[in-house]
Amino acid sequence: MEIKPIKTETDYTNSIKRIETLWGAKKDSIEGDELDLLCTLVESYEMHHFPITPPDPIDAIQFRMEQMGITKSDMTKYLGAQSRVSEVLNRKRQLTLKMVKSLYNDLKIPADVLLNDHPSSYGK
């Protein structure tokens, strides 16, 4: 077992291939230890080279609406008047703290997503 840092795309690809061959190795075996180490190295490489950005707050609201079958009219309970719902969903108005609390408490949209100052959220 020769473990080296993952520095290039080729190293990454080779590590993924090796992980596939080791998958299912018994814990605390030589192969299992190698699998654990490679997974840790791959995770570190991916976090650095392929970071996952938080979702856009408006996209998250629209996704939850779709999941729950909620209409724009239904959103007045959480965002206020119909005109305000349209302004928020069209990125013309920012979410207020009251709206965030309502969306978090009632629709279970994570507050950190709603409070995220995503570059595409407003000003389009």
Question: Tokens standing for 91?
Answer: 């990125």
Contact predicate 27/35, CB 8 Å: no
pLDDT for 121:
53
What is the spatial distance between Cα 90 and Cα 109, in angstroms, rounded to a whole number?
Answer: 18
Does residue 44 have a pLDDT over 90?
A: yes
* The one-letter amino acid at 85: V
pLDDT for 123:
52
Does residue 120 have a pLDDT over 80?
A: no
Average pLDDT over residues 50-64: 92
Per-domain boundaries in the chain = 9-49, 57-114
Percent of the chain with pLDDT over 70: 94
What is the spatial distance between Cα 48 and Cα 3, in angstroms, rounded to a whole number?
Answer: 19
- Please provide the CATH number assigned to the domain covering 57-114: 1.10.260
Which CB contacts under 8 angstroms, 24+ apart, belong to 12-21? 12/42, 12/45, 12/49, 15/41, 15/42, 15/45, 16/42
Contact predicate 72/86, CB 8 Å: yes
pTM listed for this prediction: 0.61
